[in-house]
Amino acid sequence: MTERYLALVLHAPTDLRLTVRELEGIDPGQVLVRVGMGGICGSDLHYFHQGGFGAIRIREPMALGHEVAGTVAAVAPDVDAVQVGDRVAVNPSLPCGSCRYCLEGWPNQCLDMRYFGSAMRNPHVQGAFRKLLVCEARQCAKVAPGISLSLAALAEPFSVALHAVARAGSLLGKRVLVSGCGPIGAMVVAAARLHGAAEIIATDVVDEPLAVVRAMGADTTINVATAADWTQRYAAEKGQIDAMFECSGNERALRSGLETMRPRGVLVQLGLGGDVSVPQNLIVAKELLVMGSFRFHAEFALAVQLINARRVDLSPVITRAFAMDQAVQAFALASDRKRAMKVLIDFEAEAGAGARTAAQAGDPA
């Protein structure tokens, strides 16, 4: 008899349904994970509200989600890296390993990437917001005893931040600006602190996320909507900022940040906002280094290692956890920047269990 499970499947914008699906078989090298916790990402919100982003649109029902952790329920006979009962964070990224960029050591740029919950391919790559998930054993990183699955589910966004910080080069003793304090901005604050930044300034247009990034390690937080002249204090002598991580995708935020950067500073762009104009004369005159940062690869294992060792506390970003049957309410809360940072789906909660507080969501499994 074929085993069935529930998945959170998007059929059209705002049409998110609990859907019964049949479990696929486990092939060599694969494992079956009973998903415990999943985090709602910005891309999930774009799919939920607009059906996609840019030219990427859902063209068929697609399970959402890629930030998940759970417990291994079964393994293929040839798998020995993990065992039944192991708790794992699941890397949603599956590069092909054979294209030119994989072979050059840039698997995050893979030409044949498969990424959970992505409509870039057709058929789409189904997401991980489901009770049961079949994945490659190499996508699993073990979660240490006493570490909650809520924290383990944050490994993916933390990996994005770790990759961005690595792109910037050494931050030891540097003054860092983080522009845009959503979940990724908050993770960048934590990553920059781990990498030795001497001072971290974080900016946003609302107060609530700024309070979270202070708990994540920001030294100074600025609401740029109410402090219009904030750049003046950091623009003296051609600029005071060594490295800027732009996480908002907002043109005004980018241009303001560039004013504060010192000569030969580094700008790492993470936020996606479409086409923007930049002050070329300023970039040239200050000899600024401008680069993008896209996803991650080796950083996923590092993220789990740091979480396991309690080298970083990501719990301040967790807002609430909702039972699977209350996913629509969870997405509504996750869409409100004044009330939420990272909203989780608890796939082990009983139907009708409702929302759990941030503290409850962080309880060790």
Is 333 or 354 the better-scoring residue by pLDDT? 333
CA distance 128 to 14: 18
What does each C-alpha distance from 49 to 10, 60, 137, 155 come to in angstroms? Answer: 10, 16, 33, 25
Q: pLDDT per residue over 320-330, tens digit each?
A: 999 999 999 99
Strands 318-323 and 355-357, bridge-based pairing? antiparallel
Instruction: Provide the 10 A C-beta neighbour count for residue 255.
Output: 15
DSSP letter assigned to residue 238 = G
pTM for this predicted structure:
0.94
Task: Kindly report, residue by residue over 237-250, the tens digit of the pLDDT.
Answer: 999 999 999 999 99
pLDDT digits (tens, 9 = 90+) for 98-107: 999 999 999 9
Hey, what amino acid is at 333? L
Domains and CATH numbers, the chain: 4-154+314-361 (3.90.180.10), 160-292 (3.40.50.720)
- pLDDT single digits (tens) 6-28: 999 999 999 999 999 999 889 99
108-163 residue pLDDT tens: 999 999 999 999 999 999 999 999 999 999 999 999 999 999 999 999 999 999 99
Strands (E), 173-260: 175-179, 199-204, 220-223, 241-246
pLDDT at 55 over 90: no
At residue 364, the pLDDT reads: 46
Dist CA 193 CA 195 (whole Å): 5
Strands 4-12, 15-22: pairing kind:
antiparallel
Q: Are 84 and 74 in contact (CB under 8 A)?
A: yes
Q: What is the pLDDT of residue 362?
A: 57
Confidence grade of residue 275 (pLDDT, cut at 50, 70, 90): confident
Res 75: pLDDT = 97
Cα(first)–Cα(last) distance of the chain, in Å? 31
Give the pLDDT confidence of 181-231 residue by residue, as tens digits.
999 999 999 999 999 999 999 999 999 999 999 999 999 999 999 998 999
